[in-house]
Structure 1
Amino acid sequence: MAEPTGPIEVGAALRALRRQADLSQRELARRSGVPKSTLARIEADPAADPKLRTVERLVRAAGGELAVGVRTADQRSTDGEPGDGELGAVTVLPFVPHDGRRDEGGRRYPAHLDVREVRTLKDWPGAWWGHWYVPPEQWPARVPERTYDLHRGRRDERRVRERARAVVSFRRVTEGVPDGCWRFVAQLPGGELVGELRAHERSEDLLLGEDLGDRREMVLDGVLVAPQLRFLGIGRRLLQLLGEGMDGAGIQTVRVVADIGGAGFLIACGYQVEAGRPTALRFDRRPASGG
């Protein structure tokens, strides 16, 4: 016999579905034709017993499908695979991560939003004055313990960044790369390139004009990260991979010339500023005159 399962938490399932569809209760009620008060009662009361037709309308309006079936042990084939009579694979939505939190009035936060802790003023969209230096006792508004973004564009951007942080992978590329040149990339599961580091080796013998026993050093050509995914640690990880590769190759020094923004990033990663003022030069090749 199949193992017994607990009752279906319809309210929690609807909240998870609304979160995936990025819909508020008001929006889902308008799409489904179910009164908002009915939807709020189903989500708030674990003991609520809504009609199957009502649940189906809500699920379909949120982009889901309601499937009902019975699983029995004799519907499995001899090799343990699902038989013809067993239900197919069902996509299980992750529940709302902040579902257990309540606001100061004891109310559940909107399921389709992303509630996060306010640790600094930058975490709170309402702190438009957060870039000023203002002592806490002089803040023009009270900073809440938790916050979320009502702006859908910012919400989507934040979710894209969170997903990318979890699934991005790194590797060194050797195909088509000349000897002495190094290339590391950061990619999403579909192969989309979101970060790249390029560097090349050079001989300190040629640089200093002395025979140092063929000592080599690395020159960092550049680190690029997709603008929408910056400040997630992708560039720092690429630099770490370069350092690990240098350790394996016996190379101890890496040099780089960077602008102000890039210099700050490299200093934060452990690089040191060297004395010197390189001169920027430019040469434009112009076409010969018609004569």
Structure 2
Amino acid sequence: MTDRRLFKFCVAGLVRAVRRRADLSQRELAARAGVSRSTVNRVEAGGYAPSLAMLSRLLAVADVHLVAVDGQGHVVPPLRAWDNTKDGANRHFPAHLDTVLDPRDGEWWGDRFGLARPPETYHRDRRLRDAQRARSRWEVRGMQSDRASEPPIPIVRDGRLLRFG
């Protein structure tokens, strides 16, 4: 079974379950969600995969909400965006990079060239980012567990990872 068919099957059953929970006919669900009855029929029959926006509207009728979960079932919240996490052209910084607000000396690649430090930047070095994330996770969670081993401390100079201490 392809992922697309599995998705349609899950969505169809989910919409039917929502309709049952709300005790509504297809026509009533469609009216409350602002879609046509034929759309609800096609979704429930698996002949139409709705957009996320439409699926959210259909589910909201019964006060059901979409969430994303990881492999362990933990909810994955969306990244929030603040004005200071955008660059001068009003673009978001790349989501895979950790934003550094008010960078200190050496936290920005332009420091070694004597450039004016921006109010925000991010670490481009993947090994440094991964090491800092591991250290942060350990400091928040690992120190409370006897089994968690302390990750090495990254040694950084001029924004570059030199080695682990």
| TMscore range, shorter length | 0.3 to 0.5
Larger radius of gyration: 1
Answer 1 or 2: higher relative contact order, Cα 8 Å, separation at least 6: 2
More helix by share: 2
Task: Name the TM-score, length of structure 1 as normaliser.
Answer: 0.22
